[in-house]
Amino acid sequence: MTTSGHDYPQRADAAIWITIGVIAMAVMGFVALGPFELDWRSFLIPGVVTALLAAGGWFYRSIRRDKRLGAILSSTAHIIGFAAVGAPLSYIAAAAGFPLQDAALEAIDRHMGVDWAKLMTFVSLHPGLQLVLSFAYSSFALQTLTTVLALGMAGQLTRLSSFIAAFIATTLVIIAISAVCPAAGPWLFLEIQPASANGFLPLSSTSWPVFLGLRDGMLHTVYGIRSEGIITFPSLHAALGVLFPLALWHVRGVRWFALGLNTLLVMATPAYGSHYVIDVIAGILTAAICWVAVARLLRAASETHSEHVAAIDDPPSIIPEVPALPAMAVLSRDFEST
């Protein structure tokens, strides 16, 4: 029995739900065996929203036969469901208590010629730059939603499933690395004070008490919402700054905006996320590797079937096309067949 190309998103959908379920069981296992406790009420809203979106996705895929809307609803459910179980997993990883690697990371930055204190001073002296970088750094949640919407509306449903899979894979790899290579970040390690930085304070500063509380055993509760981003190495923000433009590279009229915004997001990460530059580089490499790995897995799966259905064409764009950047084309090539 053969399977058409349009069935790949459905199979990816099932695989993603299995992954989320396995993570949820792992988190509950850690809670049962360790010192953690779950704030169950904080999981209620994301749980209900995820279930409703998943049900809507199934309805529009199976009953109404609107694959685009079904894929958008299902993919949004994936993101919310994964965030609800991924955040507690990052808290558990931070509590592993491995030695902090700030000295090594800061030494790598200095070896690359990066003076983090001077970088922070430069940003703090330019209010206009702060405004632009702050917006870019804070855009990751909105970009996640708009990426799902853009791919779904463009009919690039296999690519949408690939984006979700790469998003989850990248996050899990980064959480695993952060567990064995934890770091507090340059702001704390270098003991920079807001007064010496013209009042500038990273957006990630609210995560510091949580990170330190997890490491010293004072914090035991994990949440489904209101969780802080506590990962320093590799940078998840920088990784997302790669995944978003790669995912949108074949959506006409969007690619250049996505590339520009995410270039700013990556530039903002050291200052606003209190990240070493090596954190950013590691995040970019992790995202690129996961992107290619997911593409090759999907390509291998597609080659086991003999029937293929042509993908839905992109809708016309009012913005003229521009030749693709060579570097972006190389990374994006692995998804050409999807």
pLDDT digits (tens, 9 = 90+) for 226-269: 788 899 999 999 999 999 999 999 998 899 999 999 999 999 99
**φ, ψ of residue 173 in degrees (nearest 5):** -65, -45
Tokens representing 60? 């529009």
pLDDT of residue 285: 98
d(CA 174, CA 235): 8
d(CA 53, CA 308): 28
Identity at 247, one-letter amino acid code: A
Give the chain's end-to-end CA distance (angstroms, integer): 21
pLDDT of residue 304: 60
Other beta carbons within 10 angstroms of residue 161's beta carbon come to: 26
d(CA 65, CA 61): 5
Give the residue ranges of the chain where pLDDT is below 50: 1-6, 305-330, 332, 335-338
pLDDT of residue 8: 57
pLDDT of residue 303: 62
pLDDT of residue 36: 83
